[in-house]
Amino acid sequence: QVQLQESGPGLVKPSETLSLTCTVSGDSISNYYWSWIRQPPGKGLEWIGYIYYSGSTNYNPSLKSRLTISIDTSKKQFSLKLSSMTDADTAIYYCARGTVTVGNFDYWGQGTLVTVSS
Amino acid sequence: QSVLTQPPSVSGAPGQRVTISCTGSSSNLGAGFDVHWYQRLPGTAPKLLIYVNSNRPSGVPDRFSGSKSGTSASLAITGLQAEDEADYYCQSYDNSLSGHVFGTGTKVAVL
């Protein structure tokens, strides 16, 4: 069974950089794209971006200038760095596995709440 | 930044049928991109419910069905059960944004 687990700080100060890591278990990291998705309180889901196992990336244009997603295939981990955090970035952050041929997200992590506050 | 529009809420009595619409545009659903549906139970991560318009992953009851036509898609729940109370989201790909997009989300209430 594929499992994804997010890890990282639950509290980030305004203007700082958020760093989250997602660890994948139960299957190969190859041949999928690995995504970050978030949900602000009381709002809907927002796709943040993804990285293919080869390292190519695709980012949400609204976050692109602040976003870096990287992958470490040897550790079966991928990571998110989002800079210049503001209140608007407070959200539950999910990592998810995306299927290349279908375009959906078939496995999700449990999510981690990130709060931006001084 | 949702470009897929869903009704905020739908409700029905146990056993009834409810449908959730997902309206897109020529850059996503209308461009031929598939739609997928997710169920988010309170306090849990979203779960894939329907993929490629009308397919159910293993373990999803056949009470859930999906369809797509043109720039719209819909999710139907027949024989509504209390455990179906959740938020439901559609998702697709958008050419203009060159990325994935989610619907605005619909809360299903079982009366």
Nearest CA in chain A to B101: A47
- Sign of the alpha-carbon dihedral angle for B29, B54, A50, A45: positive
What's the whole-number mean pLDDT along residues B8-16? Answer: 96
The 10s digit of each residue's pLDDT in A9-25 is 999 999 999 999 999 99
- Show which of residues 8-47 on chain A sit within 8 Å of chain B, judged by CB atoms: 35, 37, 44-47
Closest CA to A95 of A64, A31, A58, A51: A51
What's the whole-number mean pLDDT along residues B84-93? Answer: 96
Contacts of B31 (CB under 8 A, 6+ apart): B95
What's the whole-number mean pLDDT along residues B51-57? Answer: 96
Option in B46, B52, B57 nearest A108 (CB): B46
**Residue from B54, B100, B106 whose CB has the most chain A CBs within 10 Å, to mutate:** B100
A46 CA: distance to closest CA in chain B (Å): 7
Whether residue A62 has pLDDT greater than 60: yes
- Show which of residues 20-39 on chain B sit within 8 Å of chain A, judged by CB atoms: 33-34, 36, 38
Which pLDDT value is given to residue B1?
56
Whether residue B100 has pLDDT greater than 80: yes
Q: Do B36 and A110 touch (CB under 8 A)?
A: no
Residues in chain B: 111
Tokens of B72: 């719209």
Which pLDDT value is given to residue A31?
86
What's the whole-number mean pLDDT along residues B54-67? Answer: 96
How crowded is the C-beta side of B65, counted as CA atoms within 13 Å? 8
Which pLDDT value is given to residue B3?
83
CA angle A26, A28, A33 (to 5 degrees): 110
pLDDT band at A103; cut points 50, 70, 90: confident
